[in-house]
Amino acid sequence: MKLAFLLLSALLAVNAGLVEKRGAAKSGKLFVCYYGSWAVYRPGDGKFDVEHIDPNLCTHLVFGFAGLGDDNRIKVLDPWNELVDEWGSGKAAFRRFNALKNINPSLKTILAVGGWNEGSVKYSQMAADPAKRATFVASCVQLLKEHGFDGLDMDWEYPANRGGTPEDKANFVQLLRDLKAAFAPQGLLLTAAVSAGKGTIDTAYDVPGMAQALDIISVMVYDMHGAWETFTHHNAPLYAHPNDQSGETKYFNANFSMNYWISLGAPRSKLVMGMPIYGRGFTLSNPAQNGFYADAPQAGIQGPYTREPGILGFNEVTSFAYKQHDLPLVL
């Protein structure tokens, strides 16, 4: 079987965003940027540390991620990178991240808690218990104030899914209300990263209740397609493809997702549409069949920086795919 590699990525949309964000801080629009702290461990030119961030590009910078400890307190997941211990060891990424506000005083810095790797079960258990919620909320206020963050981004992926319970939908709103009540007197922001998938939205979110508590709702309009499927498609399609008619596939596009959140009661002023700066890759069965829904039994090659089959970062697309392998791209 002949194999060829195909990368499908919304690069045009990404480039438009990169142009727009240079004026974001002055436009009055929200422009929320996430920093994946694990990028500091990537090799060579793939390494991305706090000092590589331009603090004038975004209105809000989100540091990913903190986690949830067994004691129901917010937990620093990489103390060596993020803190400094009593002997002066550690890279102090929290301190350096928040020091970016010295360069751009209007910048807001936010700490994200959760993420895909954290799972859902322990958040479900914490949110269901008033005492555990109180412990979590108090620990969040303490950590945010101690390190100079302006707010918290709740990235529970996802209530009522991945081992959660149906009660998570109501419990998540109660957790957000508890956080908001504690944050408001401290002047802290409360935001959330949420699913773009209709099935998850329907089971996980009481949108009107969330909208009352949250300052920003960031919809993760990406990872809609990838190598877990056996056909090619865009990572983050803006609109549905004519062949997107089966099952949930017709809902896997930004146009539907953002309008669905609005229809359920999310204020436009609080909504932010997520945009990836990486592509999902596939290995084709037949190089001549390389459009949408082409047979793709395997993930694409991994890049030298992200080092995960089926994903190439924008930096890898430009420096690796184009220059070294002359690979076909569909934009």
Is the pLDDT confidence value at 16 over 50? Answer: no
pLDDT in tens, 103-134: 999 999 999 999 999 999 999 999 999 999 99
Assess whether pLDDT exceeds 60 at residue 35: yes
d(CA 315, CA 319): 6
CA distance 146 to 135: 16
Nearest partner of 175 among 119, 114, 126, 121, judged by Cα: 126
Contact assessment for residue 75 and residue 83, using Cβ atoms and an 8 Å cutoff: no
- CA-based end-to-end distance of the chain: 26
Q: Quote the CA–CA distance of 31 and 200 in Å, as a whole number.
A: 25
Statement: residue 252 has pLDDT above 70 = yes
What pLDDT does residue 246 have? 81
Active-site residues, by number, are 157
User: What does the alpha-carbon distance between residue 12 and residue 237 come to, in Å, rounded to a whole number?
Assistant: 11
Give the range among 17-21, 244-248, 271-275 with minimum mean pLDDT: 17-21
| Structure tokens that stand for 59 in this block | 């209105």
Least confidently predicted of 38-42, 189-193, 217-221, 322-326: 322-326
Length of the chain in terms of residues written: 331
- What is the band of 325 on the pLDDT scale with cuts at 50, 70, 90? low
Name the nearest CA neighbour of 238 among 221, 225, 226.
Answer: 221
Least confident segment among 115-124, 166-175, 300-309, 310-319: 310-319
Please answer whether residues 116 and 157 qualify as being in contact, where contact means their C-beta atoms are separated by less than 8 angstroms: yes
Average pLDDT, the chain: 91
Residue 320 has pLDDT above 90, yes or no: no
pLDDT at 322 over 90: no
Q: Domains plus CATH for the chain?
A: 31-220+237-273 (3.20.20.80)
Which amino acid appears at position 156 of this protein? W
- Distance CA(174)–CA(210), nearest Å, equals 9
pLDDT of 112 reads 99
Residue 52 CB-density burial (10 A; 0-12 exposed, 13-18 middle, 19+ buried): exposed
Report how far residue 57's alpha carbon sits from residue 15's, in angstroms, rounded to the nearest whole number. 14
